[in-house]
Amino acid sequence: MTITTAIFQRLVRADRSEQSAEEQGQTARNGFRQMVADGLQNIGDQVVNAKTVLPWALSAVGAPSALLALLVPVRESGSMLPQAAMAPVLQRSAHRKHFWLLGAMGQAIAAAGMALAVGLASGWVAGVAVVACLAFFALARSLSSLAGKDVLGRTVPKGERGQISGLTSMLSGAVAITLGLVIRLVGGQEAGVHLLAWLLGAAALAWVLALVVFASIREPSGEVVESDDGAGWASESWALLREDAPFRRFVLARGLLLVSALAPPFVVAMAASEGGHGLAGLGPFVIAQGVAGLLGGRLAGRLADRSSQRLMVWGAVLASGVIVAFLLLQAVPELRVGGWLHAVAFLVLAIAHVGVRVARKTYVVDMAGEERRTRYVAISNTAMGVLLLVVGAVSGGLALLGPEVALAFLAVLGLVGAWVSHTLPDTSKGATS
Protein backbone atom coordinates (compact mmCIF):
# COMPACT_ATOMS: atom_id res chain seq x y z
CA MET A 1 0.00 0.00 0.00
CA THR A 2 1.40 3.39 -1.02
CA ILE A 3 1.52 6.43 1.25
CA THR A 4 -1.15 8.16 -0.85
CA THR A 5 -3.48 5.16 -0.53
CA ALA A 6 -2.91 4.93 3.21
CA ILE A 7 -3.62 8.64 3.74
CA PHE A 8 -6.70 8.60 1.52
CA GLN A 9 -8.20 5.53 3.17
CA ARG A 10 -7.59 7.03 6.59
CA LEU A 11 -9.37 10.22 5.60
CA VAL A 12 -12.16 8.60 3.58
CA ARG A 13 -13.84 5.63 5.27
CA ALA A 14 -15.74 3.14 3.11
CA ASP A 15 -16.40 -0.57 2.58
CA ARG A 16 -13.78 -1.58 -0.01
CA SER A 17 -14.22 -5.34 0.23
CA GLU A 18 -15.39 -5.50 -3.39
CA GLN A 19 -12.38 -3.56 -4.71
CA SER A 20 -9.07 -5.11 -5.68
CA ALA A 21 -5.82 -3.65 -4.35
CA GLU A 22 -5.17 -2.09 -7.75
CA GLU A 23 -8.62 -0.49 -7.83
CA GLN A 24 -8.18 0.85 -4.30
CA GLY A 25 -4.85 2.40 -5.26
CA GLN A 26 -6.28 4.03 -8.37
CA THR A 27 -9.26 5.41 -6.45
CA ALA A 28 -6.94 6.75 -3.73
CA ARG A 29 -4.64 8.48 -6.22
CA ASN A 30 -7.48 10.12 -8.10
CA GLY A 31 -9.49 10.93 -4.98
CA PHE A 32 -6.53 12.49 -3.18
CA ARG A 33 -5.65 14.65 -6.18
CA GLN A 34 -9.28 15.69 -6.51
CA MET A 35 -9.31 16.72 -2.83
CA VAL A 36 -6.14 18.79 -3.21
CA ALA A 37 -7.34 20.49 -6.41
CA ASP A 38 -10.78 21.20 -4.92
CA GLY A 39 -9.12 22.45 -1.75
CA LEU A 40 -6.98 24.92 -3.70
CA GLN A 41 -10.07 26.04 -5.62
CA ASN A 42 -11.91 26.58 -2.33
CA ILE A 43 -8.99 28.69 -1.11
CA GLY A 44 -9.53 31.00 -4.06
CA ASP A 45 -13.28 30.99 -3.46
CA GLN A 46 -12.80 32.39 0.04
CA VAL A 47 -11.18 35.48 -1.48
CA VAL A 48 -13.29 35.86 -4.63
CA ASN A 49 -16.42 35.85 -2.50
CA ALA A 50 -19.37 37.87 -3.77
CA LYS A 51 -21.00 37.97 -0.33
CA THR A 52 -18.07 39.17 1.78
CA VAL A 53 -14.70 40.15 0.31
CA LEU A 54 -15.72 41.60 -3.07
CA PRO A 55 -18.34 44.01 -1.66
CA TRP A 56 -15.76 45.31 0.78
CA ALA A 57 -13.22 45.64 -2.05
CA LEU A 58 -15.61 47.71 -4.17
CA SER A 59 -16.40 49.88 -1.17
CA ALA A 60 -12.68 50.39 -0.59
CA VAL A 61 -12.09 51.69 -4.13
CA GLY A 62 -15.16 53.93 -4.05
CA ALA A 63 -17.28 52.01 -6.56
CA PRO A 64 -20.95 53.04 -6.69
CA SER A 65 -23.45 51.02 -4.68
CA ALA A 66 -25.34 50.07 -7.85
CA LEU A 67 -22.43 47.78 -8.77
CA LEU A 68 -22.43 46.16 -5.33
CA ALA A 69 -25.96 44.87 -5.97
CA LEU A 70 -24.75 43.03 -9.09
CA LEU A 71 -22.11 40.87 -7.41
CA VAL A 72 -24.16 37.94 -6.06
CA PRO A 73 -26.51 37.60 -9.08
CA VAL A 74 -23.59 37.73 -11.52
CA ARG A 75 -21.54 35.20 -9.53
CA GLU A 76 -24.27 32.67 -8.79
CA SER A 77 -26.47 32.80 -11.87
CA GLY A 78 -23.53 33.27 -14.22
CA SER A 79 -22.01 29.99 -13.06
CA MET A 80 -25.27 28.03 -13.39
CA LEU A 81 -27.26 29.31 -16.37
CA PRO A 82 -24.81 28.26 -19.14
CA GLN A 83 -24.42 24.65 -18.01
CA ALA A 84 -27.29 23.09 -19.94
CA ALA A 85 -25.90 24.65 -23.14
CA MET A 86 -22.39 23.40 -22.27
CA ALA A 87 -23.49 19.84 -21.48
CA PRO A 88 -23.85 18.60 -25.09
CA VAL A 89 -20.28 19.73 -25.81
CA LEU A 90 -18.93 17.78 -22.82
CA GLN A 91 -21.04 14.73 -23.63
CA ARG A 92 -19.41 14.45 -27.04
CA SER A 93 -16.02 14.07 -25.36
CA ALA A 94 -14.76 10.74 -23.95
CA HIS A 95 -12.72 12.68 -21.37
CA ARG A 96 -13.99 15.63 -19.32
CA LYS A 97 -10.85 16.54 -17.34
CA HIS A 98 -9.55 19.07 -19.85
CA PHE A 99 -12.76 21.10 -19.52
CA TRP A 100 -12.09 21.47 -15.78
CA LEU A 101 -8.55 22.63 -16.55
CA LEU A 102 -9.85 25.23 -19.02
CA GLY A 103 -12.28 26.52 -16.41
CA ALA A 104 -9.55 26.72 -13.75
CA MET A 105 -7.36 28.78 -16.07
CA GLY A 106 -10.27 31.14 -16.73
CA GLN A 107 -10.85 31.60 -13.01
CA ALA A 108 -7.16 32.34 -12.45
CA ILE A 109 -7.19 35.00 -15.19
CA ALA A 110 -10.38 36.55 -13.78
CA ALA A 111 -8.98 36.71 -10.22
CA ALA A 112 -5.78 38.33 -11.52
CA GLY A 113 -7.88 40.89 -13.39
CA MET A 114 -9.76 41.73 -10.19
CA ALA A 115 -6.46 42.17 -8.35
CA LEU A 116 -5.23 44.64 -10.97
CA ALA A 117 -8.55 46.53 -10.96
CA VAL A 118 -8.60 46.89 -7.16
CA GLY A 119 -4.90 47.76 -6.93
CA LEU A 120 -4.64 50.22 -9.81
CA ALA A 121 -8.08 51.76 -10.40
CA SER A 122 -10.90 53.34 -8.42
CA GLY A 123 -14.53 54.44 -8.66
CA TRP A 124 -16.62 53.38 -11.64
CA VAL A 125 -13.61 52.05 -13.56
CA ALA A 126 -12.58 49.66 -10.80
CA GLY A 127 -16.16 48.64 -10.08
CA VAL A 128 -17.06 47.86 -13.70
CA ALA A 129 -13.77 45.99 -14.17
CA VAL A 130 -14.38 43.82 -11.11
CA VAL A 131 -17.96 42.99 -12.14
CA ALA A 132 -16.81 42.19 -15.70
CA CYS A 133 -14.05 39.93 -14.36
CA LEU A 134 -16.59 38.30 -12.04
CA ALA A 135 -18.85 37.54 -15.01
CA PHE A 136 -15.94 35.90 -16.84
CA PHE A 137 -15.05 34.08 -13.62
CA ALA A 138 -18.59 32.73 -13.29
CA LEU A 139 -18.60 31.40 -16.85
CA ALA A 140 -15.27 29.67 -16.28
CA ARG A 141 -16.52 28.25 -12.99
CA SER A 142 -19.58 26.92 -14.78
CA LEU A 143 -17.33 24.78 -16.97
CA SER A 144 -15.26 23.48 -14.05
CA SER A 145 -18.32 22.74 -11.94
CA LEU A 146 -19.94 20.71 -14.69
CA ALA A 147 -16.81 18.75 -15.61
CA GLY A 148 -15.63 18.26 -12.03
CA LYS A 149 -18.71 16.34 -10.91
CA ASP A 150 -18.44 14.07 -13.95
CA VAL A 151 -14.77 13.33 -13.28
CA LEU A 152 -15.59 12.63 -9.62
CA GLY A 153 -18.33 10.20 -10.64
CA ARG A 154 -15.96 8.38 -12.99
CA THR A 155 -12.97 8.11 -10.67
CA VAL A 156 -14.46 7.67 -7.18
CA PRO A 157 -17.18 5.11 -6.26
CA LYS A 158 -20.36 5.71 -4.26
CA GLY A 159 -19.83 5.91 -0.53
CA GLU A 160 -16.68 8.04 -0.86
CA ARG A 161 -17.74 11.07 -2.93
CA GLY A 162 -19.52 12.96 -0.17
CA GLN A 163 -16.55 12.61 2.17
CA ILE A 164 -14.26 14.14 -0.45
CA SER A 165 -16.59 17.16 -0.73
CA GLY A 166 -16.74 17.39 3.06
CA LEU A 167 -12.96 17.25 3.51
CA THR A 168 -12.38 20.00 0.95
CA SER A 169 -14.99 22.09 2.78
CA MET A 170 -12.95 21.61 5.97
CA LEU A 171 -9.81 22.85 4.24
CA SER A 172 -11.76 25.78 2.87
CA GLY A 173 -12.92 26.53 6.40
CA ALA A 174 -9.39 26.59 7.77
CA VAL A 175 -8.35 29.03 5.06
CA ALA A 176 -11.37 31.23 5.76
CA ILE A 177 -10.49 31.43 9.46
CA THR A 178 -6.93 32.42 8.61
CA LEU A 179 -8.14 34.99 6.10
CA GLY A 180 -10.63 36.41 8.60
CA LEU A 181 -7.95 36.77 11.26
CA VAL A 182 -5.63 38.53 8.82
CA ILE A 183 -8.36 40.96 7.84
CA ARG A 184 -9.35 41.50 11.45
CA LEU A 185 -5.81 42.06 12.75
CA VAL A 186 -4.14 43.76 9.78
CA GLY A 187 -7.07 45.55 8.18
CA GLY A 188 -7.97 47.75 11.12
CA GLN A 189 -10.84 50.14 10.70
CA GLU A 190 -9.83 51.22 7.20
CA ALA A 191 -10.46 49.26 4.03
CA GLY A 192 -6.92 48.25 2.99
CA VAL A 193 -7.00 48.35 -0.81
CA HIS A 194 -3.49 46.97 -1.29
CA LEU A 195 -4.15 44.08 1.12
CA LEU A 196 -7.28 43.12 -0.80
CA ALA A 197 -5.40 43.33 -4.13
CA TRP A 198 -2.67 41.02 -2.84
CA LEU A 199 -5.30 38.57 -1.58
CA LEU A 200 -6.96 38.49 -5.01
CA GLY A 201 -3.57 37.87 -6.61
CA ALA A 202 -2.98 34.96 -4.23
CA ALA A 203 -6.38 33.54 -5.23
CA ALA A 204 -5.28 33.55 -8.88
CA LEU A 205 -2.18 31.58 -7.90
CA ALA A 206 -4.33 29.04 -6.03
CA TRP A 207 -6.24 28.24 -9.25
CA VAL A 208 -2.98 27.80 -11.18
CA LEU A 209 -1.79 25.27 -8.58
CA ALA A 210 -5.19 23.53 -8.67
CA LEU A 211 -4.85 23.22 -12.45
CA VAL A 212 -1.47 21.51 -12.10
CA VAL A 213 -2.79 19.02 -9.54
CA PHE A 214 -6.04 18.21 -11.39
CA ALA A 215 -4.09 17.59 -14.61
CA SER A 216 -2.48 14.53 -12.94
CA ILE A 217 -5.84 12.76 -12.37
CA ARG A 218 -6.18 9.61 -14.48
CA GLU A 219 -9.68 9.77 -15.87
CA PRO A 220 -11.00 6.63 -17.59
CA SER A 221 -12.67 7.01 -20.96
CA GLY A 222 -16.42 7.40 -20.72
CA GLU A 223 -19.29 6.86 -23.08
CA VAL A 224 -19.66 9.49 -25.77
CA VAL A 225 -23.24 10.74 -25.99
CA GLU A 226 -24.33 12.26 -29.26
CA SER A 227 -27.13 14.70 -28.44
CA ASP A 228 -29.89 15.63 -30.83
CA ASP A 229 -28.78 19.06 -31.95
CA GLY A 230 -32.00 19.48 -33.89
CA ALA A 231 -34.08 19.50 -30.73
CA GLY A 232 -31.76 22.00 -29.06
CA TRP A 233 -30.46 21.93 -25.51
CA ALA A 234 -33.38 24.01 -24.20
CA SER A 235 -35.95 21.56 -25.55
CA GLU A 236 -33.98 18.58 -24.25
CA SER A 237 -33.70 20.19 -20.82
CA TRP A 238 -37.42 20.88 -20.65
CA ALA A 239 -38.20 17.34 -21.80
CA LEU A 240 -36.03 15.85 -19.04
CA LEU A 241 -37.68 18.01 -16.38
CA ARG A 242 -41.12 17.10 -17.70
CA GLU A 243 -40.56 13.35 -18.01
CA ASP A 244 -38.24 12.53 -15.08
CA ALA A 245 -40.35 13.04 -11.92
CA PRO A 246 -37.61 12.26 -9.32
CA PHE A 247 -35.19 14.64 -11.06
CA ARG A 248 -37.89 17.33 -11.28
CA ARG A 249 -38.56 17.02 -7.54
CA PHE A 250 -34.84 17.28 -6.82
CA VAL A 251 -34.60 20.52 -8.82
CA LEU A 252 -37.64 21.91 -6.97
CA ALA A 253 -36.17 20.90 -3.60
CA ARG A 254 -32.82 22.45 -4.47
CA GLY A 255 -34.52 25.71 -5.38
CA LEU A 256 -36.41 25.80 -2.09
CA LEU A 257 -33.18 25.07 -0.19
CA LEU A 258 -31.81 28.46 -1.27
CA VAL A 259 -32.73 29.61 2.23
CA SER A 260 -29.23 28.76 3.50
CA ALA A 261 -27.56 30.66 0.62
CA LEU A 262 -29.69 33.82 0.50
CA ALA A 263 -30.28 34.45 4.21
CA PRO A 264 -26.67 35.22 5.37
CA PRO A 265 -26.29 38.50 3.41
CA PHE A 266 -29.37 39.89 5.18
CA VAL A 267 -27.85 39.01 8.55
CA VAL A 268 -24.60 40.76 7.56
CA ALA A 269 -26.52 43.81 6.35
CA MET A 270 -28.37 44.02 9.66
CA ALA A 271 -25.06 43.83 11.53
CA ALA A 272 -23.55 46.57 9.36
CA SER A 273 -26.53 48.83 10.01
CA GLU A 274 -25.83 48.55 13.74
CA GLY A 275 -22.20 49.66 13.56
CA GLY A 276 -20.15 46.91 11.89
CA HIS A 277 -18.41 49.18 9.36
CA GLY A 278 -14.74 49.19 8.38
CA LEU A 279 -12.60 46.36 6.98
CA ALA A 280 -12.11 44.91 10.46
CA GLY A 281 -15.87 44.36 10.71
CA LEU A 282 -15.67 41.87 7.85
CA GLY A 283 -13.33 39.60 9.80
CA PRO A 284 -15.80 37.93 12.19
CA PHE A 285 -18.10 36.86 9.35
CA VAL A 286 -15.25 35.42 7.27
CA ILE A 287 -14.04 33.58 10.38
CA ALA A 288 -17.55 32.29 11.06
CA GLN A 289 -17.73 31.00 7.50
CA GLY A 290 -14.44 29.17 8.03
CA VAL A 291 -15.53 27.69 11.34
CA ALA A 292 -18.65 26.37 9.59
CA GLY A 293 -16.49 24.60 7.04
CA LEU A 294 -14.32 23.03 9.73
CA LEU A 295 -17.22 21.96 11.93
CA GLY A 296 -19.59 20.88 9.21
CA GLY A 297 -17.43 19.77 6.29
CA ARG A 298 -16.32 16.29 7.27
CA LEU A 299 -19.48 15.49 9.23
CA ALA A 300 -21.63 16.60 6.29
CA GLY A 301 -19.60 14.42 3.95
CA ARG A 302 -20.14 11.28 6.02
CA LEU A 303 -23.82 12.04 6.56
CA ALA A 304 -24.24 12.64 2.82
CA ASP A 305 -22.72 9.24 2.02
CA ARG A 306 -25.15 7.63 4.45
CA SER A 307 -28.16 9.52 3.08
CA SER A 308 -27.79 12.78 1.16
CA GLN A 309 -31.59 13.00 0.98
CA ARG A 310 -31.98 13.08 4.78
CA LEU A 311 -29.14 15.61 5.09
CA MET A 312 -30.98 17.93 2.68
CA VAL A 313 -34.06 17.71 4.91
CA TRP A 314 -32.24 18.47 8.16
CA GLY A 315 -30.11 21.21 6.58
CA ALA A 316 -33.25 23.06 5.49
CA VAL A 317 -34.89 22.60 8.90
CA LEU A 318 -31.78 23.94 10.67
CA ALA A 319 -31.56 27.00 8.40
CA SER A 320 -35.25 27.88 8.83
CA GLY A 321 -35.10 27.26 12.57
CA VAL A 322 -32.13 29.55 13.16
CA ILE A 323 -33.81 32.33 11.14
CA VAL A 324 -36.93 32.11 13.29
CA ALA A 325 -34.84 32.12 16.48
CA PHE A 326 -32.75 35.04 15.22
CA LEU A 327 -35.82 37.14 14.42
CA LEU A 328 -37.32 36.45 17.83
CA LEU A 329 -34.10 37.30 19.67
CA GLN A 330 -33.74 40.50 17.64
CA ALA A 331 -36.67 41.84 19.66
CA VAL A 332 -34.45 41.85 22.78
CA PRO A 333 -32.18 44.95 22.53
CA GLU A 334 -29.68 43.61 25.11
CA LEU A 335 -28.89 40.61 22.90
CA ARG A 336 -27.86 42.80 19.96
CA VAL A 337 -25.02 44.48 21.86
CA GLY A 338 -21.61 43.78 20.32
CA GLY A 339 -23.07 42.10 17.26
CA TRP A 340 -22.57 38.58 18.65
CA LEU A 341 -26.15 37.59 17.83
CA HIS A 342 -25.58 38.34 14.14
CA ALA A 343 -22.27 36.45 14.10
CA VAL A 344 -23.78 33.37 15.78
CA ALA A 345 -26.77 33.35 13.42
CA PHE A 346 -24.42 33.71 10.45
CA LEU A 347 -22.31 30.82 11.76
CA VAL A 348 -25.25 28.42 12.14
CA LEU A 349 -26.63 29.39 8.74
CA ALA A 350 -23.20 28.75 7.23
CA ILE A 351 -23.08 25.30 8.87
CA ALA A 352 -26.52 24.52 7.48
CA HIS A 353 -25.40 25.66 4.04
CA VAL A 354 -22.34 23.38 4.16
CA GLY A 355 -24.65 20.45 4.85
CA VAL A 356 -27.12 21.39 2.13
CA ARG A 357 -24.35 22.03 -0.40
CA VAL A 358 -22.55 18.73 0.20
CA ALA A 359 -25.87 16.84 0.30
CA ARG A 360 -27.29 18.13 -2.98
CA LYS A 361 -23.94 17.67 -4.79
CA THR A 362 -23.71 14.08 -3.59
CA TYR A 363 -27.38 13.41 -4.35
CA VAL A 364 -27.27 14.52 -7.98
CA VAL A 365 -24.09 12.53 -8.69
CA ASP A 366 -25.49 9.40 -7.01
CA MET A 367 -28.94 9.56 -8.62
CA ALA A 368 -27.59 9.77 -12.17
CA GLY A 369 -26.15 6.88 -14.16
CA GLU A 370 -23.05 7.27 -16.30
CA GLU A 371 -25.05 8.28 -19.35
CA ARG A 372 -27.14 10.95 -17.57
CA ARG A 373 -24.78 12.40 -14.99
CA THR A 374 -23.59 15.35 -17.09
CA ARG A 375 -27.13 16.22 -18.18
CA TYR A 376 -28.49 16.00 -14.63
CA VAL A 377 -25.78 18.28 -13.24
CA ALA A 378 -26.01 20.77 -16.12
CA ILE A 379 -29.80 21.02 -16.29
CA SER A 380 -30.24 21.22 -12.51
CA ASN A 381 -27.65 24.01 -12.33
CA THR A 382 -29.23 25.93 -15.20
CA ALA A 383 -32.65 25.61 -13.60
CA MET A 384 -31.10 26.81 -10.35
CA GLY A 385 -29.72 29.88 -12.11
CA VAL A 386 -33.26 30.81 -13.13
CA LEU A 387 -34.72 30.00 -9.70
CA LEU A 388 -31.97 32.00 -8.01
CA LEU A 389 -32.91 35.08 -10.00
CA VAL A 390 -36.60 34.60 -9.21
CA VAL A 391 -36.18 33.91 -5.48
CA GLY A 392 -33.52 36.61 -5.21
CA ALA A 393 -35.83 39.14 -6.85
CA VAL A 394 -38.73 38.23 -4.55
CA SER A 395 -36.62 38.31 -1.38
CA GLY A 396 -34.98 41.54 -2.55
CA GLY A 397 -38.38 43.11 -3.10
CA LEU A 398 -39.54 42.00 0.33
CA ALA A 399 -36.36 43.46 1.81
CA LEU A 400 -37.71 46.91 0.88
CA LEU A 401 -40.16 46.32 3.72
CA GLY A 402 -37.25 45.38 5.97
CA PRO A 403 -34.67 42.56 6.07
CA GLU A 404 -36.81 40.82 8.72
CA VAL A 405 -39.61 40.35 6.17
CA ALA A 406 -37.22 38.82 3.64
CA LEU A 407 -35.78 36.48 6.28
CA ALA A 408 -39.25 35.35 7.32
CA PHE A 409 -40.06 34.56 3.67
CA LEU A 410 -36.86 32.53 3.33
CA ALA A 411 -37.61 30.61 6.54
CA VAL A 412 -40.98 29.52 5.14
CA LEU A 413 -39.30 28.62 1.86
CA GLY A 414 -36.82 26.41 3.72
CA LEU A 415 -39.53 24.51 5.56
CA VAL A 416 -41.31 23.79 2.28
CA GLY A 417 -37.95 22.68 0.87
CA ALA A 418 -37.49 20.27 3.77
CA TRP A 419 -40.88 18.70 3.03
CA VAL A 420 -40.14 18.35 -0.70
CA SER A 421 -36.71 16.86 0.08
CA HIS A 422 -38.42 14.33 2.35
CA THR A 423 -40.40 13.06 -0.67
CA LEU A 424 -37.26 12.36 -2.72
CA PRO A 425 -36.07 8.75 -3.19
CA ASP A 426 -33.00 7.77 -1.16
CA THR A 427 -30.01 7.29 -3.49
CA SER A 428 -27.43 6.31 -0.85
CA LYS A 429 -25.29 3.22 -1.31
CA GLY A 430 -27.31 1.22 1.19
CA ALA A 431 -30.58 2.14 -0.49
CA THR A 432 -29.79 1.51 -4.14
CA SER A 433 -27.07 0.02 -6.24
Q: How confident is the model at residue 212 (pLDDT cuts 50, 70, 90)?
A: very high
State the Cα–Cα distance between residues 214 and 212, nearest whole angstrom. 6
Instruction: Write phi, then psi, for 181 (nearest 5 degrees).
Output: -65, -40
State the Cα–Cα distance between residues 42 and 203, nearest whole angstrom. 9
State the Cα–Cα distance between residues 203 and 205, nearest whole angstrom. 5
State the Cα–Cα distance between residues 385 and 401, nearest whole angstrom. 25
pLDDT of residue 433: 39
Does residue 191 carry a pLDDT above 60?
no
Is there a contact between 236 and 228 (Cβ–Cβ < 8 Å)?
A: yes
pLDDT in tens, 68-113: 656 777 887 787 777 667 777 776 776 678 888 999 999 999 999 9
The residue among 114 and 71 whose pLDDT is bigger is 114
Q: What is the DSSP string of 38-54?
A: HHHHHHHHHHS-TTTHH
Does residue 230 carry a pLDDT above 50?
no
Tell me what the mean pLDDT of segment 241-258 comes to. 84
What global pTM score does this model have?
0.69
- Using a CB cutoff of 8 Å and minimum separation of 24, what contacts does 266-272 make? 266/395, 266/399, 266/403, 266/406, 266/407, 266/410, 267/326, 267/342, 267/345, 267/346, 267/349, 267/407, 268/51, 268/52, 268/342, 268/346, 269/403, 270/330, 270/342, 270/403, 271/339, 271/342, 271/343, 271/346
Chain centre distance of CA 153 = 18
pLDDT of residue 15: 62
* CA distances for 143 relative to 56, 100, 262, 405, angstroms: 27, 6, 23, 36
